[in-house]
Structure 1
Amino acid sequence: MAKVQFYRFIVALCGVIGVGMQIYQDGFGMLLYYTVISNILVFSFLFYLIGWEGKNGSINHSSKLLRSKGAVTMAIMITAVVYHFMLAPLAEPHAYWNIRNFLVHYIAPIGFILDTLIIDKKNSYRWFDPLTWTSFPLGYFAFAIFNGMVLQLPIPGAKDSPYAYFFINVNKFGLQKVLINSLIIASAYVVGGYLLLLVKKLVGANCKETVR
Protein backbone atom coordinates (compact mmCIF):
# COMPACT_ATOMS: atom_id res chain seq x y z
CA MET A 1 0.00 0.00 0.00
CA ALA A 2 2.82 2.41 0.84
CA LYS A 3 4.35 1.96 -2.62
CA VAL A 4 0.97 2.59 -4.27
CA GLN A 5 0.44 5.71 -2.17
CA PHE A 6 3.89 6.97 -3.08
CA TYR A 7 3.28 6.33 -6.78
CA ARG A 8 -0.03 8.19 -6.67
CA PHE A 9 1.59 11.08 -4.84
CA ILE A 10 4.27 11.36 -7.55
CA VAL A 11 1.64 11.33 -10.33
CA ALA A 12 -0.38 13.97 -8.49
CA LEU A 13 2.73 16.07 -7.95
CA CYS A 14 3.52 15.93 -11.67
CA GLY A 15 0.04 17.28 -12.36
CA VAL A 16 0.42 20.03 -9.77
CA ILE A 17 3.79 21.12 -11.15
CA GLY A 18 2.56 21.03 -14.75
CA VAL A 19 -0.59 23.05 -14.03
CA GLY A 20 1.36 25.39 -11.76
CA MET A 21 3.86 26.11 -14.55
CA GLN A 22 1.03 26.72 -17.00
CA ILE A 23 -0.68 29.27 -14.74
CA TYR A 24 2.55 30.89 -13.49
CA GLN A 25 3.88 31.45 -17.01
CA ASP A 26 0.66 32.34 -18.84
CA GLY A 27 -1.90 33.38 -16.23
CA PHE A 28 -5.24 32.10 -14.96
CA GLY A 29 -6.69 32.13 -18.47
CA MET A 30 -5.06 28.70 -18.79
CA LEU A 31 -7.91 27.39 -16.65
CA LEU A 32 -10.08 27.63 -19.76
CA TYR A 33 -8.19 24.74 -21.36
CA TYR A 34 -9.62 21.23 -21.03
CA THR A 35 -6.07 20.01 -20.46
CA VAL A 36 -5.62 22.12 -17.33
CA ILE A 37 -9.07 21.33 -15.95
CA SER A 38 -8.63 17.58 -16.45
CA ASN A 39 -5.19 17.66 -14.81
CA ILE A 40 -6.64 19.51 -11.82
CA LEU A 41 -9.33 16.83 -11.65
CA VAL A 42 -6.63 14.13 -11.66
CA PHE A 43 -4.40 15.49 -8.92
CA SER A 44 -7.37 16.54 -6.78
CA PHE A 45 -8.81 13.03 -7.03
CA LEU A 46 -5.44 11.46 -6.26
CA PHE A 47 -4.88 13.59 -3.15
CA TYR A 48 -8.41 12.75 -1.99
CA LEU A 49 -7.79 9.06 -2.71
CA ILE A 50 -4.52 9.04 -0.77
CA GLY A 51 -6.31 10.47 2.26
CA TRP A 52 -9.29 8.12 1.84
CA GLU A 53 -7.10 5.05 1.58
CA GLY A 54 -5.15 6.14 4.64
CA LYS A 55 -8.37 5.78 6.65
CA ASN A 56 -10.27 3.05 4.83
CA GLY A 57 -7.77 0.86 3.01
CA SER A 58 -7.54 0.13 -0.69
CA ILE A 59 -9.88 1.76 -3.20
CA ASN A 60 -10.57 -1.79 -4.37
CA HIS A 61 -13.00 -2.12 -1.48
CA SER A 62 -15.18 0.76 -2.75
CA SER A 63 -17.24 0.25 -5.89
CA LYS A 64 -18.30 3.91 -5.89
CA LEU A 65 -14.74 5.23 -5.84
CA LEU A 66 -13.60 2.76 -8.50
CA ARG A 67 -16.36 3.89 -10.84
CA SER A 68 -15.59 7.54 -10.11
CA LYS A 69 -11.94 6.83 -10.86
CA GLY A 70 -13.03 5.36 -14.18
CA ALA A 71 -14.65 8.70 -15.02
CA VAL A 72 -11.47 10.59 -14.09
CA THR A 73 -9.42 8.13 -16.14
CA MET A 74 -11.50 8.81 -19.24
CA ALA A 75 -11.37 12.57 -18.61
CA ILE A 76 -7.56 12.57 -18.64
CA MET A 77 -7.30 9.93 -21.36
CA ILE A 78 -9.02 12.23 -23.85
CA THR A 79 -6.52 14.93 -22.91
CA ALA A 80 -3.62 12.73 -23.97
CA VAL A 81 -5.31 11.25 -27.06
CA VAL A 82 -6.75 14.48 -28.51
CA TYR A 83 -3.53 16.36 -27.85
CA HIS A 84 -1.23 13.72 -29.33
CA PHE A 85 -3.24 13.05 -32.47
CA MET A 86 -4.99 16.38 -33.17
CA LEU A 87 -3.00 19.17 -31.53
CA ALA A 88 0.62 18.04 -31.21
CA PRO A 89 1.12 17.83 -35.01
CA LEU A 90 0.18 21.53 -35.21
CA ALA A 91 2.35 22.68 -32.29
CA GLU A 92 5.54 24.66 -32.77
CA PRO A 93 8.69 22.80 -31.62
CA HIS A 94 9.26 25.16 -28.67
CA ALA A 95 5.64 24.68 -27.54
CA TYR A 96 5.90 20.89 -27.75
CA TRP A 97 9.37 20.14 -26.43
CA ASN A 98 9.14 21.53 -22.92
CA ILE A 99 8.61 19.98 -19.50
CA ARG A 100 5.30 21.65 -18.68
CA ASN A 101 3.78 20.34 -21.91
CA PHE A 102 4.94 16.78 -21.24
CA LEU A 103 3.78 16.90 -17.61
CA VAL A 104 0.15 17.76 -18.43
CA HIS A 105 -0.24 15.96 -21.76
CA TYR A 106 1.77 12.78 -21.23
CA ILE A 107 3.35 12.12 -17.83
CA ALA A 108 0.40 12.80 -15.49
CA PRO A 109 -2.20 11.32 -17.89
CA ILE A 110 -0.25 8.13 -18.62
CA GLY A 111 0.67 7.77 -14.95
CA PHE A 112 -2.99 7.94 -13.94
CA ILE A 113 -4.14 5.60 -16.72
CA LEU A 114 -1.55 2.99 -15.74
CA ASP A 115 -2.68 3.31 -12.12
CA THR A 116 -6.24 2.47 -13.15
CA LEU A 117 -5.27 -0.38 -15.44
CA ILE A 118 -2.80 -2.12 -13.15
CA ILE A 119 -3.74 -1.30 -9.56
CA ASP A 120 -7.53 -1.09 -9.64
CA LYS A 121 -9.73 -4.15 -9.22
CA LYS A 122 -10.96 -6.05 -12.27
CA ASN A 123 -14.57 -5.82 -13.42
CA SER A 124 -15.16 -2.57 -11.53
CA TYR A 125 -17.66 -0.79 -13.79
CA ARG A 126 -21.33 -1.07 -14.70
CA TRP A 127 -22.51 -1.27 -18.30
CA PHE A 128 -23.87 2.29 -18.37
CA ASP A 129 -20.84 3.99 -16.80
CA PRO A 130 -19.16 4.95 -20.11
CA LEU A 131 -22.33 6.84 -21.04
CA THR A 132 -22.38 8.85 -17.82
CA TRP A 133 -18.64 9.56 -18.11
CA THR A 134 -19.30 11.71 -21.20
CA SER A 135 -20.93 14.39 -19.03
CA PHE A 136 -17.52 15.87 -18.20
CA PRO A 137 -16.26 16.51 -21.77
CA LEU A 138 -19.72 17.50 -23.01
CA GLY A 139 -20.01 19.99 -20.17
CA TYR A 140 -16.62 21.41 -21.06
CA PHE A 141 -17.44 21.71 -24.76
CA ALA A 142 -20.69 23.51 -23.91
CA PHE A 143 -18.83 25.98 -21.71
CA ALA A 144 -15.96 26.42 -24.20
CA ILE A 145 -18.37 27.20 -27.03
CA PHE A 146 -20.33 29.56 -24.77
CA ASN A 147 -17.11 31.32 -23.84
CA GLY A 148 -16.13 31.72 -27.48
CA MET A 149 -19.53 33.04 -28.55
CA VAL A 150 -20.64 35.05 -25.50
CA LEU A 151 -18.12 35.53 -22.68
CA GLN A 152 -15.10 35.77 -25.00
CA LEU A 153 -12.58 35.42 -22.19
CA PRO A 154 -9.10 35.44 -23.77
CA ILE A 155 -7.16 32.18 -23.73
CA PRO A 156 -3.36 32.45 -23.53
CA GLY A 157 -1.52 30.83 -26.42
CA ALA A 158 -4.68 29.76 -28.26
CA LYS A 159 -4.53 30.67 -31.95
CA ASP A 160 -8.33 30.47 -32.03
CA SER A 161 -8.92 32.45 -28.80
CA PRO A 162 -11.50 32.96 -27.31
CA TYR A 163 -11.98 29.34 -28.43
CA ALA A 164 -9.55 27.02 -26.69
CA TYR A 165 -9.26 24.62 -29.64
CA PHE A 166 -9.55 25.04 -33.38
CA PHE A 167 -12.20 22.33 -33.79
CA ILE A 168 -14.71 24.26 -31.65
CA ASN A 169 -14.17 27.62 -33.38
CA VAL A 170 -17.71 28.59 -34.38
CA ASN A 171 -16.48 31.66 -36.28
CA LYS A 172 -14.32 29.49 -38.51
CA PHE A 173 -16.46 26.39 -38.98
CA GLY A 174 -20.00 27.44 -38.03
CA LEU A 175 -22.07 26.17 -35.13
CA GLN A 176 -23.35 23.07 -36.93
CA LYS A 177 -19.86 21.85 -37.82
CA VAL A 178 -18.61 22.54 -34.29
CA LEU A 179 -21.49 20.57 -32.79
CA ILE A 180 -20.71 17.70 -35.17
CA ASN A 181 -17.04 17.84 -34.14
CA SER A 182 -18.06 17.75 -30.47
CA LEU A 183 -20.41 14.81 -31.03
CA ILE A 184 -17.71 12.90 -32.92
CA ILE A 185 -15.29 13.36 -30.03
CA ALA A 186 -18.01 12.46 -27.52
CA SER A 187 -18.83 9.30 -29.51
CA ALA A 188 -15.16 8.34 -29.58
CA TYR A 189 -15.12 9.03 -25.84
CA VAL A 190 -17.98 6.56 -25.30
CA VAL A 191 -16.20 3.95 -27.41
CA GLY A 192 -13.05 4.52 -25.37
CA GLY A 193 -15.08 4.15 -22.18
CA TYR A 194 -16.44 0.78 -23.25
CA LEU A 195 -12.94 -0.25 -24.29
CA LEU A 196 -11.75 0.62 -20.77
CA LEU A 197 -14.66 -1.36 -19.34
CA LEU A 198 -13.71 -4.42 -21.41
CA VAL A 199 -10.01 -4.10 -20.62
CA LYS A 200 -10.77 -3.88 -16.90
CA LYS A 201 -12.61 -7.19 -17.11
CA LEU A 202 -9.27 -8.78 -17.96
CA VAL A 203 -6.61 -6.53 -16.44
CA GLY A 204 -6.12 -5.39 -12.86
CA ALA A 205 -5.92 -6.57 -9.30
CA ASN A 206 -7.81 -9.65 -8.11
CA CYS A 207 -10.10 -8.63 -5.26
CA LYS A 208 -13.36 -10.47 -4.58
CA GLU A 209 -14.68 -8.50 -1.61
CA THR A 210 -16.11 -5.08 -2.42
CA VAL A 211 -18.04 -2.70 -0.18
CA ARG A 212 -20.65 -0.83 -2.23
Structure 2
Amino acid sequence: MKRQSNYFYSRCLLAVLAIIGTTLEIVKHGIGMLLYYTVQSNLLVSLFATYMVYALYQGKDLQSRGFLRLKAAVTMSIMITCVIYHFMLAPLATDFWRVENLLCHYIVPLYFLLDTLFIDRQRQYKWFDPIWWTALPVAYLAFALVNGLIIKLPIPDAKDSPFAYFFLNVPKYGWQYVLTYAATIFVAYLLSGYGLLLVKSIKFPRFSSKRQTA
Protein backbone atom coordinates (compact mmCIF):
# COMPACT_ATOMS: atom_id res chain seq x y z
CA MET A 1 0.00 0.00 0.00
CA LYS A 2 1.40 3.34 -1.03
CA ARG A 3 2.29 5.64 1.84
CA GLN A 4 2.17 9.39 1.36
CA SER A 5 3.12 12.43 3.38
CA ASN A 6 1.67 15.91 3.21
CA TYR A 7 5.09 16.88 1.88
CA PHE A 8 5.69 13.97 -0.47
CA TYR A 9 4.76 15.83 -3.63
CA SER A 10 6.58 18.96 -2.52
CA ARG A 11 9.80 16.96 -2.10
CA CYS A 12 9.14 15.28 -5.47
CA LEU A 13 9.00 18.69 -7.13
CA LEU A 14 12.17 19.78 -5.33
CA ALA A 15 14.03 16.68 -6.52
CA VAL A 16 12.81 17.13 -10.10
CA LEU A 17 13.84 20.79 -10.24
CA ALA A 18 17.29 20.05 -8.79
CA ILE A 19 17.84 17.17 -11.22
CA ILE A 20 16.70 19.25 -14.21
CA GLY A 21 18.97 22.17 -13.30
CA THR A 22 22.02 19.96 -12.72
CA THR A 23 21.39 17.89 -15.85
CA LEU A 24 20.95 20.93 -18.08
CA GLU A 25 24.21 22.43 -16.83
CA ILE A 26 26.14 19.25 -17.64
CA VAL A 27 24.39 18.36 -20.92
CA LYS A 28 24.58 21.88 -22.36
CA HIS A 29 28.06 22.81 -21.18
CA GLY A 30 29.93 19.56 -20.62
CA ILE A 31 31.08 17.30 -17.82
CA GLY A 32 33.57 19.95 -16.76
CA MET A 33 30.66 21.82 -15.14
CA LEU A 34 31.10 19.43 -12.22
CA LEU A 35 34.16 21.48 -11.28
CA TYR A 36 31.87 24.35 -10.27
CA TYR A 37 30.66 24.51 -6.68
CA THR A 38 27.24 25.45 -8.06
CA VAL A 39 26.84 22.17 -9.90
CA GLN A 40 28.33 20.11 -7.08
CA SER A 41 25.97 21.62 -4.51
CA ASN A 42 22.96 21.19 -6.79
CA LEU A 43 23.97 17.59 -7.43
CA LEU A 44 24.10 17.10 -3.66
CA VAL A 45 20.59 18.53 -3.33
CA SER A 46 19.39 16.31 -6.19
CA LEU A 47 20.61 13.21 -4.37
CA PHE A 48 19.39 14.38 -0.98
CA ALA A 49 15.93 15.37 -2.23
CA THR A 50 15.63 12.06 -4.10
CA TYR A 51 16.44 10.24 -0.87
CA MET A 52 13.76 12.25 0.96
CA VAL A 53 11.19 11.22 -1.65
CA TYR A 54 12.22 7.58 -1.29
CA ALA A 55 12.20 7.78 2.52
CA LEU A 56 8.75 9.35 2.61
CA TYR A 57 7.42 6.72 0.23
CA GLN A 58 8.82 4.04 2.52
CA GLY A 59 7.29 5.72 5.57
CA LYS A 60 10.63 6.54 7.16
CA ASP A 61 11.13 9.28 9.75
CA LEU A 62 12.55 12.52 8.31
CA GLN A 63 12.22 14.41 11.58
CA SER A 64 14.91 12.65 13.59
CA ARG A 65 17.57 14.89 15.09
CA GLY A 66 20.44 13.27 13.23
CA PHE A 67 18.72 13.62 9.86
CA LEU A 68 17.76 17.25 10.42
CA ARG A 69 21.30 18.20 11.47
CA LEU A 70 22.60 16.65 8.25
CA LYS A 71 19.88 18.35 6.21
CA ALA A 72 20.87 21.70 7.71
CA ALA A 73 24.40 21.17 6.40
CA VAL A 74 22.98 20.58 2.92
CA THR A 75 20.79 23.67 3.31
CA MET A 76 23.79 25.83 4.11
CA SER A 77 25.86 24.33 1.30
CA ILE A 78 23.23 25.16 -1.34
CA MET A 79 22.38 28.58 0.06
CA ILE A 80 25.96 29.77 -0.31
CA THR A 81 25.52 29.03 -4.01
CA CYS A 82 22.58 31.43 -4.12
CA VAL A 83 24.18 34.18 -2.04
CA ILE A 84 27.63 34.18 -3.66
CA TYR A 85 26.12 34.12 -7.14
CA HIS A 86 23.60 36.88 -6.47
CA PHE A 87 26.00 39.34 -4.87
CA MET A 88 29.31 38.52 -6.56
CA LEU A 89 28.75 36.74 -9.86
CA ALA A 90 25.32 37.74 -11.20
CA PRO A 91 26.43 41.36 -11.83
CA LEU A 92 29.14 39.95 -14.15
CA ALA A 93 26.88 37.44 -15.92
CA THR A 94 26.13 37.86 -19.62
CA ASP A 95 23.64 34.99 -19.89
CA PHE A 96 21.63 35.38 -16.71
CA TRP A 97 18.21 34.34 -18.01
CA ARG A 98 18.98 30.68 -18.65
CA VAL A 99 16.63 28.08 -17.20
CA GLU A 100 19.47 26.11 -15.63
CA ASN A 101 21.00 29.28 -14.21
CA LEU A 102 17.79 30.30 -12.45
CA LEU A 103 17.16 26.77 -11.23
CA CYS A 104 20.64 26.17 -9.82
CA HIS A 105 21.24 29.61 -8.32
CA TYR A 106 17.83 30.72 -7.11
CA ILE A 107 14.87 28.36 -7.36
CA VAL A 108 16.42 25.19 -5.92
CA PRO A 109 18.42 26.90 -3.12
CA LEU A 110 15.46 28.98 -1.94
CA TYR A 111 13.06 26.03 -2.26
CA PHE A 112 15.38 23.89 -0.11
CA LEU A 113 15.76 26.69 2.46
CA LEU A 114 11.98 27.11 2.75
CA ASP A 115 11.62 23.36 3.17
CA THR A 116 14.08 23.48 6.07
CA LEU A 117 12.54 26.54 7.68
CA PHE A 118 8.89 25.55 7.52
CA ILE A 119 8.80 21.75 7.51
CA ASP A 120 11.65 20.61 9.72
CA ARG A 121 11.12 20.29 13.45
CA GLN A 122 12.48 23.12 15.62
CA ARG A 123 15.28 22.91 18.20
CA GLN A 124 17.15 19.98 16.70
CA TYR A 125 20.61 21.50 16.17
CA LYS A 126 23.58 21.57 18.53
CA TRP A 127 25.59 24.69 19.25
CA PHE A 128 28.66 23.47 17.33
CA ASP A 129 26.76 22.36 14.21
CA PRO A 130 27.40 25.57 12.23
CA ILE A 131 31.13 24.88 12.59
CA TRP A 132 31.01 21.49 10.87
CA TRP A 133 28.50 22.82 8.33
CA THR A 134 31.46 24.74 6.89
CA ALA A 135 33.15 21.46 5.91
CA LEU A 136 31.70 21.28 2.39
CA PRO A 137 32.66 24.79 1.19
CA VAL A 138 36.08 24.50 2.85
CA ALA A 139 36.64 21.16 1.09
CA TYR A 140 35.62 22.75 -2.21
CA LEU A 141 38.04 25.64 -1.63
CA ALA A 142 40.89 23.15 -1.21
CA PHE A 143 39.76 21.21 -4.27
CA ALA A 144 39.43 24.34 -6.43
CA LEU A 145 42.88 25.61 -5.48
CA VAL A 146 44.49 22.23 -6.11
CA ASN A 147 42.84 22.05 -9.51
CA GLY A 148 43.75 25.62 -10.41
CA LEU A 149 47.37 25.42 -9.28
CA ILE A 150 48.31 21.77 -9.91
CA ILE A 151 45.83 19.63 -11.84
CA LYS A 152 44.58 22.43 -14.13
CA LEU A 153 41.46 20.74 -15.49
CA PRO A 154 39.73 23.25 -17.80
CA ILE A 155 36.43 24.69 -16.60
CA PRO A 156 33.73 25.52 -19.18
CA ASP A 157 32.85 29.22 -19.58
CA ALA A 158 35.16 30.27 -16.74
CA LYS A 159 37.17 33.39 -17.62
CA ASP A 160 39.66 32.43 -14.92
CA SER A 161 39.91 28.73 -15.89
CA PRO A 162 41.34 26.49 -14.47
CA PHE A 163 39.96 28.46 -11.50
CA ALA A 164 36.18 28.27 -11.31
CA TYR A 165 35.75 31.75 -9.83
CA PHE A 166 37.69 34.98 -10.17
CA PHE A 167 38.30 35.33 -6.43
CA LEU A 168 40.23 32.03 -6.44
CA ASN A 169 42.74 33.04 -9.13
CA VAL A 170 45.98 33.06 -7.15
CA PRO A 171 48.40 33.71 -10.08
CA LYS A 172 46.38 36.73 -11.17
CA TYR A 173 45.48 38.34 -7.85
CA GLY A 174 47.86 36.81 -5.30
CA TRP A 175 47.41 34.83 -2.11
CA GLN A 176 46.46 37.81 0.04
CA TYR A 177 43.53 38.65 -2.24
CA VAL A 178 42.30 35.05 -2.42
CA LEU A 179 42.68 34.33 1.29
CA THR A 180 40.95 37.60 2.21
CA TYR A 181 37.98 36.65 0.04
CA ALA A 182 37.98 33.12 1.42
CA ALA A 183 38.15 34.31 5.03
CA THR A 184 35.34 36.82 4.47
CA ILE A 185 33.11 34.17 2.91
CA PHE A 186 33.97 31.71 5.68
CA VAL A 187 33.04 34.14 8.45
CA ALA A 188 29.81 35.15 6.69
CA TYR A 189 28.96 31.48 6.17
CA LEU A 190 29.62 30.64 9.80
CA LEU A 191 27.51 33.56 11.03
CA SER A 192 24.72 32.56 8.66
CA GLY A 193 24.87 29.06 10.09
CA TYR A 194 24.38 30.43 13.58
CA GLY A 195 21.56 32.57 12.19
CA LEU A 196 19.85 29.40 10.96
CA LEU A 197 20.45 27.75 14.34
CA LEU A 198 18.89 30.77 16.07
CA VAL A 199 15.83 30.79 13.84
CA LYS A 200 15.32 27.06 14.26
CA SER A 201 15.70 27.36 18.05
CA ILE A 202 12.55 29.51 18.22
CA LYS A 203 9.36 27.54 18.68
CA PHE A 204 7.01 28.30 15.79
CA PRO A 205 3.81 26.46 14.89
CA ARG A 206 4.75 23.69 12.47
CA PHE A 207 2.59 22.23 9.74
CA SER A 208 1.33 18.72 10.33
CA SER A 209 3.43 16.03 8.68
CA LYS A 210 1.32 12.99 9.60
CA ARG A 211 1.40 10.28 7.01
CA GLN A 212 -1.68 9.30 5.12
CA THR A 213 -2.41 6.02 3.45
CA ALA A 214 -4.19 5.54 0.21
Q: Same fold (TM over 0.5)?
A: yes
Shift of 1:182: 1.1
Q: Is the 8 A contact 1:155 1:161 kept in 2?
A: yes
Could you tell me which residue of structure 2 aligns to residue 86 of structure 1? 88
Counterpart residue identity of residue 72, structure 1: V
* 1:48-127 paired onto structure 2 within 5 Å: 48-60=51-63, 62-92=64-94, 95-127=95-127
Once residues 207 and 157 of structure 2 are traced to their aligned partners in structure 1, the CA distance between those partners, rounded to angstroms, is: 45
**Whole-angstrom distance in 2 between the partners of 1:45 and 1:52:** 10
Distance 2:205 2:109 in 1: 18
Aligned to 1:190, the other structure's residue is in SS state: helix
Partners of 1:12 and 1:53 in 2: CA distance: 13
**Amino acid in the other structure paired with 2:143:** F
TM-superposed deviation, 1:51: 1.7
The answer to whether the 8 A contact 2:85-2:105 is kept is yes
Cα drift, residue 204 of structure 1: 6.3
Distance 2:86 2:175 in 1: 25
Which structure 1 segments of 5+ residues have no match?
Answer: 208-212
Counterpart in 1 of 2:133? Answer: 133
Q: Provide the rounded CA distance (Å) in 2 between the counterparts of 1:73 and 1:49.
A: 14
Using the TM superposition, give the Cα deviation of residue 46 of structure 1 relative to its aligned residue in structure 2, in angstroms.
1.0
TM-score, structure 2 normalization:
0.91
Q: Provide the rounded CA distance (Å) in 1 between the counterparts of 2:129 and 2:205.
A: 18
Letter in 2 for 1:50: V
Query: Could you say which residue in structure 1 is the equivalent of 2:174?
Result: 174
Higher RCO, Cα 8 Å, sep 6+: 2
1:206 Cα deviation (Å)? 7.5
Runs of 4+ in structure 1 deviating by more than 6 angstroms, as ranges, are none
SS in 2 for 1:156: coil
Using the aligned pairs only, state the percent identity.
49
Cα RMSD for the two superposed structures: 1.5
Tell me the SS of whatever aligns to 2:58.
helix
- 8 Å CA contact retained: 1:122, 1:206: no
Q: Aligned partner of 1:80: which letter?
A: C
Unmatched tracts of structure 2, length 5 or more: 209-214
**Of 129-138 and 45-54, the range deviating more from structure 2:** 45-54
Q: What does the per-residue CA deviation read over 1:47-86, in whole Å, with 9 as the maximum and x for residues that have no partner? A: 11222233344411x1110000000000001000000011
Q: Provide the rounded CA distance (Å) in 1 between the counterparts of 2:59 and 2:8.
A: 13
Aligned residues of 1:155 and 1:164 also touching (Cα < 8 A) = yes
